[in-house]
Amino acid sequence: MGQYQAGGFQAIQEYFQQKFCRFCAHPFASEGIQLLREEPGVLVVRVTCHTCSKPLGVAIVGTAPRNQKERPKVPHDWTKKDIEKLHNRAPISYDDVLDAHAFIHQLGSDWSKLIPRAGRQAH
């Protein structure tokens, strides 16, 4: 445990180092990209400008392990059409990060109430 997604995080760091801070126009540095959480198939990273310390936001990034065959992992209920439509999508984009940040921000402090409980009660 712990190292199976390291390649994914490195790719994310490399991705953001090609992007520029919208406040000070410096490129993001790997020091400003922090891994908050790591789960199988998902990385949560916080991106902060290392130069001016302004936060870009939090990104929730799906990662596909490279060492698991060539086939992309898709939900079992996807149709062939879904796969054709979605499998070419880039795993992450600059806009995704901004969207995630806006989404998390609008949840406010009560965000944990919005998470569905396991074992939902029947009415």
Q: 4 vs 23, which CB is nearer to Zn ion?
A: 23
Single-letter amino acid, residue 13: Q
Per CB under 5 A, residues contacting Zn ion are 21, 23-24, 49, 51-52
Least CB distance to Zn ion at residue 72 (A): 35
Question: Which residue pairs, CB below 8 angstroms and at least 24 apart, start in 24-32?
Answer: 24/49, 24/51, 24/52, 24/54, 26/50, 26/51, 26/52, 28/56
Least CB distance to Zn ion at residue 16 (A): 12
Q: 22 vs 85, which CB is nearer to Zn ion?
A: 22
Least CB distance to Zn ion at residue 104 (A): 20
Q: How far apart are the first and last CA of the chain?
A: 40
